[in-house]
Amino acid sequence: MQYLHFALVFLFENGLHVSSQCTAQVSDFYMPGDFLIGGLFDIHYAQADNHHVRPEALDCSSQRFSISNYRRFQLMRFAVEEINNSTSLLPNVTLGYEMFDHCSDTRSFPGILKLLSVNGQIQPWAEPYRTLSKVIAVVGPFTSTQALTVAPFFMVDLIPMVNYGSSSSVFSKKAKFPSFLRTVHPNSDVIEVIVTILKHFKWHWVAFLYNADDFGYDGLNIFRNQITDTDICIAYTRALMTGENFSRVFQQIEMQRIHVIIVFTAEMAAEALIKSAIKSNITNKVWIANDAWSLNKRLLKMKDIRNIGTILGVAQPLLTIPGFVDFIHSIERQSECGHNGQQMLCNQVCNCSDWRAKDVLEADPSFSFPVYSAVYAIAHALHHSLQCGESGCNNITVYPNMVLAELQKSNFTLLNRTIQFDKNGDLKFGLYFVVFWNHVGDAQQIGFYKFYPKVHYYIDSEEIIWYTNGEVPTSVCSQECHEGYVRKQTYPQKCCFTCEICPNETYINVTDDPYNCISCKATEWSKEGSTSCNPRLVEYVSHTEMSSVLIMAGAGILVGLTGAISVLFALNYNTPVVRSAGGPMCFLILGCLILCSVSVFFYFGKPTNISCILRYFPFLLFYTVCLACFVVRSFQIIFIFKIATKFPKLQIWWKKYHGQWLVIAGAFTVQTLLLAISFAYDPPILYNETSWYQDQIVLFCTLNLEATSGTFVLVVVLSCLCFIFSYMGKDLPKNYNEAKSITFCLLLFTVTWILFITIYILYHGKFIQTLNALAVLCSLYFFLLWYFLPKCYIIIFQSHKNTQQYFQGQIQNYTKTISQ
């Protein structure tokens, strides 16, 4: 940094004597005082630096004059004089200033070096504060690029820079700019208001035009960041260059059907753009101005300005500064900016004799209060640094870093506005106005945006006269999808899309995610093109339904009949009919039928995991025992009449070891193991069946057929053995011939379950469970009615057939038939 300072000192000392035309008399640029405030104002605007071959400073007075910046220049002079006339602020202390016309980013450094110099010299190698300049702080410069080039010179020695116009976000980084504060809001605040306007009017397809400098690039980056999570898209961007032909820009905007143009530029660039738009006959656009030109009175009064469309803007609050009008009129008689006296440095000359007080007062008033408050902030900081009181200020040495410390603690009220800085050196309080350029040539306030203590805004849309004659203009790439339709991204820009309807069982929530259909929960349903899901109706067969009552009543009757038959068989236990029916085995069959009937009751009511198990376990286990009994019973009759004589030892073994009970116990054990294994692996559980009906949940019990396949195989095997043994005994004595009854029972059993499976495949609904219970109940009734009931009939109504003599006669007749 020392080498840099040394080089600049050399440039400074040469630049002071480069050209006699860069000198001027004592002027409005300088006023002596106990302490000086530096001021940097681009009263003239160098549109482009001319090529030069030797080191020389630029003569700003030869460049284009900016009356709005001249107004700000005079406002600083007024503020200093007002402070000096104050009895409460800096009493007995005279505040002076030294200002320069800083018209160029790269060739206006003599003024900067003069502010840093002591007695015409800069000694960067000297000990700090040994030689002290009277300059305690600097106001300006105006643009971000200007501030970026000059700020490092002041940051080294922590000389406060209180800026009134540089709004780039980089200045909020205190590591790089520790002594930089500003009385203007950063770009992020202005962009925040612009984005709010776009959201308010639902403009999603916009162009963003910006200065080709640090200010413009920063604004573009902030804008991109702030619209990341919104529906706003940048359809076109362009960095505007000085002297550019804008016809190509307007062609691109028209080609992309953009109706909203954000112009985030400095005053001069905006003037050139708008004038070109009028000349090119650009119409039917909404123009959004940033605070740099939203109050530009030259454009407001320009002929045909209304033809380009509707102009909205973000504007700083306009505050009337008491006494400033009189101050401007008091200097109107001066033909030059300076008075007679000693020679001054270059860029302290102002060729402004052609401008009258009226012109100055009617210039763009933007950034007026930031200049005014910047000077007052420095004065208050100096006031505290000097420990001033009612009687005066202490005579102590004040260094710039002391003023900086007090500036950072600023908290005072000026024209009813609180001036206070945050940790980044930005204003804590403030608001922006939203303005509309009306047809009488005024910037009409139609809303506001307040930042502190919380964000609050208001826009009165009714006050805006749109170029569409009433309706708010639209600016979109693709029209909004109808309700229930989702956006499908088919283009790079998120604002350009096609619309597809959301299918069944999904819905679209445009607020949260307009690009994806959201699946409904398992307990909900929706039609095609829905914006919400509806709860499904939960269906199950209740205990109170007529079908449930009838089936449960049938199960109860079966239990009653089975019990009655058991009693009848017990009373006639030693009769031939009971003995031929199986004797003690009959009671096992009847008991199993009762236990099987228990499962019927668990098909009704709201299912649970326990009830699901009890639907299948009792029936499958005890019905297997019934079938095993019938297999054994059929086999025993065939064995006695047809096998015993051929295999006497087998008969002895069968009787000795109770073969019939071994078979039944084996079937029971195998089925118990199969059920235990299958239910442990995948038990029947409650299942919400949602595929049958769109708007219903049918509470159902799942049964893994693969896991329980062994159980069903055993039932089928026993059924087949029954058929085989029954068929083999078709020619036995009538009293012992049970083939017909067992075969008929099994035939009905098979037909019933085939019919149920067919219905189960074709019909889906809660009543499938009713049919399942009915099939179980019918399977039990078949054995009860076609096996036991005929025997009951003989016992009760044909007792003559229930005698030993009758049975022996039947056997003798069978023997005679066989022998013949």
pTM assigned to the model: 0.69
pLDDT of residue 336: 46
CA distance 649 to 652: 5
CA distances from 290 to 124, 315, 320, 387, 406 (A): 40, 7, 21, 41, 32
The model's confidence at residue 581, banded by pLDDT at 50, 70 and 90, is confident
> Quick one: average pLDDT of 342-352?
64
pLDDT tier at 729 (50, 70, 90 boundaries)? Answer: low
Query: Looking at residue 798, what is its pLDDT?
Result: 85
Per-residue pLDDT at 699 exceeds 80: yes
Within 493-583, residue ranges assigned H as helices are 546-571, 576-581
Q: Which amino acid is at 771?
A: L
Higher pLDDT, 590 or 648: 590
Mean pLDDT of the region 780-804: 87
Tokens describing residue 296:
């530009």
Neighbouring residues of 674: CB distance < 8 A, sequence distance ≥ 6:
708, 710, 711, 714
* Lowest-pLDDT choice from 124-138, 304-318, 569-583, 788-802: 124-138
3-state secondary structure of 426: coil
The alpha carbon dihedral of 761, 763, 766, 771 has a sign of negative
Distance CA 130, CA 40 (A): 26
Residue 427 CA to residue 433 CA, distance in Å, equals 16
- Contacts with 254 (C-beta within 8 Å, 6 or more apart), sequence order: none
pLDDT surpassing 60 at residue 698: yes
d(CA 95, CA 109): 24
At CA 111, angle to CA 110 and CA 112, rounded to 5? Answer: 90
Task: State the DSSP code for 335.
Answer: S
**CA separation for the pair 503, 519 (Å, rounded):** 9
C-alpha distances (whole Å) from 121 to each of 26, 32, 111, 126, 244 are 20, 19, 13, 11, 42
Q: Which two tokens stand for residue 83?
A: 């402070």
pLDDT class for 639, splitting at 50, 70, 90?
low
Is the model's pLDDT at 484 over the cut of 50?
Answer: yes
Return the pLDDT at 752.
94
Produce one character per residue of 663-687: b if its CB has 16 or more CB atoms within 10 Å, e if not. bbeebbeebeebbeebbeeebbbbe
Q: What is the pLDDT of residue 334?
A: 59
Smallest CA-to-CA distance from 217 within 169, 175, 152 is with 169
CA distance 370 to 364: 13
Nearest Cα neighbor of 463 from 489, 491, 482, 438 is 438
Phi, psi of 398, deg, nearest 5: -115, 125
- Secondary structure (H, E, C), 61-98: HHCEECHHHHHHHHHHHHHHHHHHCCCCCCCCCCEEEE
Rounded CA-CA distance 405/381 in Å is 8
pLDDT category of residue 24 using cuts at 50, 70 and 90? very low
Please report which residue ranges of 492-602 form alpha helices under DSSP H.
Answer: 546-571, 576-581, 584-598
Helix/strand/coil for 577: helix
How do residues 296-336 score in pLDDT, each as one tens digit? 988 998 888 989 999 999 999 989 999 999 998 888 765 44
Contact 624, 674 (CB under 8 A): no
Strand partners, 41: 101
- 453 upstream amide cis, omega within 30 of 0: yes
Is the pLDDT score of 1 beyond 70? no
Is 80 exceeded by the pLDDT of residue 647?
Answer: no
* CA–CA–CA angle 480, 486, 488 (5° rounding): 90
**For residue 539, what are the contacts with CB-CB under 8 A and spacing of at least 6?**
693, 696, 697, 698, 699, 765, 766
Query: Worst-scoring range by mean pLDDT, 11-25, 531-545, 710-724, 804-818?
Result: 11-25
Strands 686-689 and 696-701: antiparallel
Q: 3-class SS at 809?
A: helix
pLDDT digit string (tens) for 426-441? 998 889 999 999 988 8
Better pLDDT: 655 or 242: 242
Task: Round to whole Å and give the CA distance between 433 and 293.
Answer: 13
Cis status, amide bond into 128, omega within 30 of 0: no
pLDDT tens for residues 494-519? Answer: 888 899 999 998 999 988 888 899 99
CA distance 299 to 296: 6
- The residue ranking higher by pLDDT, 243 or 791, is 791
Identity (one letter) of the amino acid at 803?
A: T
Mean pLDDT for the chain overall: 86
- 356 with 400: CB under 8 angstroms? no
Among 116-130, 357-371, 695-709, the least confident range: 116-130
How far is 101 from 351, CA to CA, in rounded Å? 11
**Cα–Cα distance for residue pair 110/769, rounded to 1 Å:** 98
Which residues 6+ apart lie within 8 Å of 100 measured at CB?
A: 29, 38, 39, 40, 41, 108, 110, 111, 112, 114, 115, 345, 347, 348
| pLDDT on residue 561 | 95
Question: What confidence score (pLDDT) does residue 46 get?
Answer: 80
Q: Are 208 and 226 in contact (CB under 8 A)?
A: no
The residue behind tokens 């002297």 is 243
pLDDT at 7 over 60: no
Q: What is the pLDDT of residue 530?
A: 92
DSSP three-state, residue 458: strand
Cα 343 from chain centre: 65
Residue-level pLDDT at 736: 53
pLDDT (tens digit per residue) in 77-127: 999 999 999 989 999 899 999 999 988 887 778 888 888 888 777 776 666
Q: What is the mean pLDDT of residues 391-411?
A: 92
- Using left for φ > 0, alpha for ψ between -120 and 50, and beta otherwise, residue 436 falls in beta
Report how far residue 303's alpha carbon sits from residue 298's, in angstroms, rounded to the nearest whole number. Answer: 10
Contact 499, 488 (CB under 8 A): yes
CB 40 within 8 A of CB 150: yes
State pLDDT tens for residues 539-565.
Answer: 889 999 999 999 999 999 999 999 999
Q: What is the rounded (10 degree) CA torsion for 546, 547, 549, 553?
A: 140
3-state secondary structure of 495: coil
User: Could you tell me the two tokens for 393?
Assistant: 């200020």
* Residue 421: per-residue pLDDT: 95
Rounded to whole angstroms, the Cα distance separating 367 from 70 reads 12
Q: How far is CA 436 from CA 148, 329, 385, in A?
A: 33, 30, 44
28-48 tens-digit pLDDT: 899 999 999 999 999 988 866
Report d(CA 735, CA 782) in Å as an integer: 20
The token duo for 257 is 């059907």
pLDDT in the model for residue 4: 38
Confirm if 788 and 581 have CB atoms less than 8 A apart: yes
- Can you tell me the distance from the alpha carbon of 449 to that of 314, in angstroms, rounded to the nearest whole number? 9
Whether 164 and 142 have beta carbons less than 8 Å apart is answered as yes
Confidence tier at 3 by pLDDT (50, 70, 90): very low
Report the alpha-carbon distance of residue 671 to residue 712 in Å, rounded: 9
Q: What is the pLDDT of residue 130?
A: 63
CA distance 570 to 641: 27
Whether the pLDDT of residue 811 is over 60: the answer is no
Cα 230 from Cα 223, distance rounded (Å): 11
Q: Compute CA 342 distance to the chain's CA centroid, rounded to the nearest angstrom.
A: 67
Report which DSSP code applies to 233.
E
DSSP 58: -
582 pLDDT band, cuts 50/70/90, is: confident
Backbone phi, psi, residue 95, to 5°:
-100, 125
Residue 8 has pLDDT above 90, yes or no: no
* Cα dihedral sign, 407-412-413-414: negative
pLDDT of residue 659: 77
Mean pLDDT of 448-452: 90
The first and second tokens of residue 281, run together, are 């006959």
